[in-house]
Amino acid sequence: MKFLRKIFDNAHEAINKNEKTKKFFPLIDSFDTLMFTPNHTTKNGAHIRDAIDLKRTMMFVILALVPCLLFGMYNVGHWHYEALGETATFMQKFGIGALGVLPLIIVSYGVGLGVEFIIAIRNGHAVQEGFLVSGMLIPLIMPVDVPLWMVAVATVFAVVIGKEVFGGTGMNIINIALTARAFLFFAHPTSMTGDKTWVAGIKDMKTDGVLADGFSGATSLGDLAGAKAKYAEAVIATTKGKSDEIVQALYDKGDIAASKAMSMMDSFWGIEIGSVGETSAFAALLGAAFLIWVGIASWKVMISFFLGGLSIAGLFYATGGDLAAGGNPFYAVDPITQLMYGGFFFGMVFMITDPVTAAQTSTGKFFYGFIGGALGILIRMGNPAYPEGIMLGILIANVCAPTIDHMVIQANVKRRMKRLKTA
Amino acid sequence: MSKTIKIRKGLDINLVGKADKVIVEAPMPKTFAIKPPDFHGVVPKMVVKVGETVKAGSILFKNKYNLEVNFVSPISGTLKEIKRGAKRRILEVIIEADGKNEFETIDTSGVLDRDTVGVKQFLLDAGLWPFIKMRPIDIVANPKDAPKSIYISGFDSHPLAPDYDYTLHGKDKEFQAGIDLLKKLTSGTVHLQIKGNADAALKGAKNCQINTVSGPHPAGNVGVQIHHIEPLNKGEVVWTVNAQDVAIMGATLLTGKYEPTRLVALTGGGAKNHKYYRTLIGAEVSVITAGNTAAEEGVTNRFISGNPLTGDNVGEAGYLGFYHSQVSVLPEGDRYKFFVKDGWLSLGFGSFSNSKAYPTWMLPKSKKWNLDTNLNGEERAFVVTEEYEKVFPFDIFPVQLVKAAIINDIDNMEKLGIYEVAPEDFALCEFVCTSKIPSQQHIRKALDVINEECM
């Protein structure tokens, strides 16, 4: 420890000797403050200070992400072998998954922190902690087979346009990680949707012709979105007298949830195709329990986000989704299962709760969360072209947050004005 | 019409080094200092020159922009030095005591029969006026104002604060005389806020409305009490006086002598012999701390006049502040903390935090903490939300108010309630802040701007 301290002290000294190298101070300083809480003392005001700082706050969010990350690695491997139609041990699956996920993490952190360092040196301030979390979130909300250069471009976009132009950590309007995802979603939709990106190595499997029979490679939501077309096919197929079992089931019931791939419990545990870390509601809830336990994420936002999603899912479910009557297949899924699909829970725990982009007032948080959840599910169910509506729902809620806060604060201001008038 | 108020939000920081209830006569200090910076916003106009002799109660300087208000010497002696800082601002007016104990004569005949103007004149002449502060702005009161009411907090809830029930015990007469004086100054009510089981001197006070306040710090902050009794509106002025100073006012009325005795609590983890020391306002801190400090090897101490949340760092050779009756000695935190040992990623059983990210909240409440002055992080932009709100018992949005203060947005500050707060009300916010924002400083600056532009 003393040895390490000495290295940093020497590095500081060496860098301060020369005018030219002085500007690289943030570089040394960032590593120094990572290893040591600095010896800064209070100057005026409160002489004693709480032990909490931003580094610990951010690190606890990363710890909360660990279940999602580990499960995500396993899940990636699981679907790799499913796609091949082979059986594999737990460790084999995990190994393949880790090989698929780690490059994403390395690119995200490498590029993101690189940009942060350049900006810090340019502006002459220390590197701030915000990207520690964003850098972990970005790989977890990407399809595993997205090209790495795209992740790099998206990360640069998110850090520069999403955050630094507003003034850095704590100043951004919308969620950094979702900015990266939204960027790719609109700039490179073919790499972010469809059936050729969600399973590690699926493209090669297709060209090599080793893909297991009947394996689609699309997410549950993608399957749902395609159900209408499939149903139409099924109608034609049955008239021609050559329907397979699933198509028959679709045709008979007009109910997509009957399909086994859509099981609620599989979705809850996370055995489904999707972005790396988003599939498991269970892992996300583990993270939620930890974040609420240490008081870092707001339970108010989580609860209201859940209720928002549930109410819209319930409302649409009640109107029914009879495919035979030309209905929307998303409406046919019962509300709880609907929420288990895709990234709803991951968004609820890690995205909507980002304190910088969330509403800041206690009352505002309830409205904010509700709007996020409701919009997310509304977009998902109402417009099957955007199956992952949660991302858009949260981004829109981010944009609404200042307005929500404004209204809550104005209520307080009005109370004060009223007092002044009656006094 | 007395009220009972229960404060729910707040934080009691249980520090080591609370003063035992034992009174020690501190040795007579050689020098005393009255420090103009204690009276925020006052620009001193000196009345005596260096080398001239003064008595206890002689005028040292006046407020340049309000010449009625006098600031007097606590002791008889000679003016030794006028210490100046940047831009020749006067920092300390130092008096060398001569041990003669001479007092200016103060005419106390029939003061309580005089009208408001007469009583004001008495307080101004006797040098007692600076004890009265005003809200909003939290500065020495302007004698030209007519306050809506006057508030006295009968207890101090700051960490390690002196116990007024103990320091005012037996001063029933002086305290009552002080209240009688204050009652003459307002057409409204004199409010005295006490804890449930207060001393008879406080509980038995007459001529005032006694309200009971309970709850964690900042329940003892007079600003919190005003907010819950009758919140201040734009254009209104109330005055506040420390309970101990009420007794000094009363004593001056009864004896005709200005003798600003203080029972000063010596507190904090860097001190030993934590007791109450009897001395005068403006005394050298060293008469209390000499021989009473305890520091670990290689750790220096910080000497604070006042409490650890709002006090002033005066240094070992400094002087007791005008409004202070506490000296806190804390270990300096000018050392590096390795991140997994006791730094930002440690288990944290040795660190105190109001955040649940440290295990403080799972440890017994009775555990006492020896906190040092390390900032425990670096200043950042606001990130964490609803952190200030937990320790800020006002119907005010603290973060939004601080933000308005930072950008000098007077309009929004007024709307968000700047008139109801003082810097000390933000001390806990500053303490718990993850982003280490110096909110007391921001609020002080904001109040200065408001004072200049809107008062």
pLDDT tens digits, residue range A190-235? 888 877 888 888 888 888 888 887 777 778 777 777 766 666 666 5
What's the residue count for chain A? 423
The CA distance from B436 to the nearest CA of chain A, in Å, is: 8
Question: What mean pLDDT do residues B86-110 have?
Answer: 91
User: Does residue A423 carry a pLDDT above 70?
Assistant: no
Question: What mean pLDDT do residues A285-303 have?
Answer: 96
Q: Return phi, psi of residue B442, to 5°.
A: -65, -40
Give the model's pLDDT for residue A204.
84
- Which of A52, A298, A419 faces B231 most closely, judged by CB atoms? A419
With 0.90 as the threshold, say if the pTM is over it.
yes
- By C-alpha distance, the chain A residue nearest B395 is A412
Which residues of chain A make contact with B309, given a CB cutoff of 8 A? 46-48
B369-378 per-position pLDDT tens digit:
999 999 999 9
d(CA B282, CA B280): 6
Q: Where are chain B's structural domains? A: 28-97, 107-255, 375-454
Query: Contact A350/A287 with Cβ under 8 angstroms?
Result: yes
List the single best residue of B232, B301, B327, B374 to mutate versus A (max A Cβ within 10 A): B374
- Which of B358, B380, B386 faces A170 most closely, judged by CB atoms? B380
Query: Contact A99/A385 with Cβ under 8 angstroms?
Result: no
Give the model's pLDDT for residue B363.
92
Global ipTM: 0.92
Look up tokens 């300390």; give the residue: B92
Q: List all residues of chain A from 299 to 358 with a beta carbon under 8 Å from chain B.
A: 355-356, 358
The CA distance from A114 to the nearest CA of chain B, in Å, is: 20
Query: Contact B156/B220 with Cβ under 8 angstroms?
Result: yes
- By C-alpha distance, the chain B residue nearest A6 is B336
What pLDDT band is residue A248 in, cutting at 50, 70 and 90?
A: low
- On whether any CB of chain B is under 8 Å from the CB of A14, the answer is no
Q: How far is CA B391 from the centre of its chain?
A: 19
d(CA B262, CA B276): 9
d(CA A197, CA A203): 7
Q: What CATH number belongs to B107-255?
A: 3.40.50
DSSP letter for A330, please: G
Q: Are strands B238-242 and B150-153 parallel, antiparallel or unpaired?
A: parallel
- Token code pair at residue B139: 């500065």
Nearest to B188 by CA among B237, B124, B252, B231: B237
- By C-alpha distance, the chain A residue nearest B356 is A294
Class of CATH domain B28-97: mainly beta
Which residues of chain A make contact with B355, given a CB cutoff of 8 A? 50, 52, 57, 294-295
List the single best residue of A44, A49, A63, A293 to mutate versus B (max B Cβ within 10 A): A49
User: Does residue A261 carry a pLDDT above 60?
Assistant: no
What pLDDT band is residue B108 in, cutting at 50, 70 and 90?
A: confident
Q: Are strands B261-267 and B238-242 parallel, antiparallel or unpaired?
A: unpaired
What single-letter amino acid sits at A17?
K
Query: Contact B153/B205 with Cβ under 8 angstroms?
Result: no
What pLDDT band is residue A256 in, cutting at 50, 70 and 90?
A: very low
Give the model's pLDDT for residue A253.
44
Q: Which long-range contacts (CB under 8 A, 24 or more apart) does A147-153 make?
A: A147/A191, A148/A103, A148/A104, A148/A107, A150/A184, A150/A188, A150/A191, A151/A104, A151/A107, A151/A108, A151/A111, A151/A180, A151/A184, A152/A107, A152/A111, A153/A183
Of residues A93 and B295, the one with the higher pLDDT is: A93
Average pLDDT of chain A to the nearest whole number: 87
Count of other CB atoms within 10 angstroms of residue B379: 13
Give the model's pLDDT for residue A81.
92
Q: Which long-range contacts (CB under 8 A, 24 or more apart) does B384-388 make?
A: B384/A54, B384/A57, B384/A296, B384/A355, B384/B434, B384/B435, B385/A298, B385/A355, B385/A358, B385/A360, B386/A298, B386/A360, B386/A362, B386/A365, B387/B355, B387/B429, B387/B432, B387/B433, B387/B434, B388/B429, B388/B432, B388/B433, B388/B439
| A54–B234 CB contact, under 8 Å | no
| B375–A41 CB contact, under 8 Å | yes
- Which of B159, B342, B381 faces A169 most closely, judged by CB atoms? B381
d(CA B247, CA B180): 11
- On whether any CB of chain B is under 8 Å from the CB of A422, the answer is no
List the single best residue of A37, A41, A408, A413 to mutate versus B (max B Cβ within 10 A): A37
What pLDDT band is residue A260 in, cutting at 50, 70 and 90?
A: very low
- By C-alpha distance, the chain B residue nearest A3 is B338
Assign A321 to helix, strand or coil. coil
Give the model's pLDDT for residue A245.
53
Peptide bond into A38 cis (omega under 30): no
- On whether any CB of chain B is under 8 Å from the CB of A406, the answer is no
List the single best residue of B229, B232, B301, B385 to mutate versus A (max A Cβ within 10 A): B385
| B386–A360 CB contact, under 8 Å | yes
How many inter-chain contacts (A to B, CB under 8 Å) are there?
210
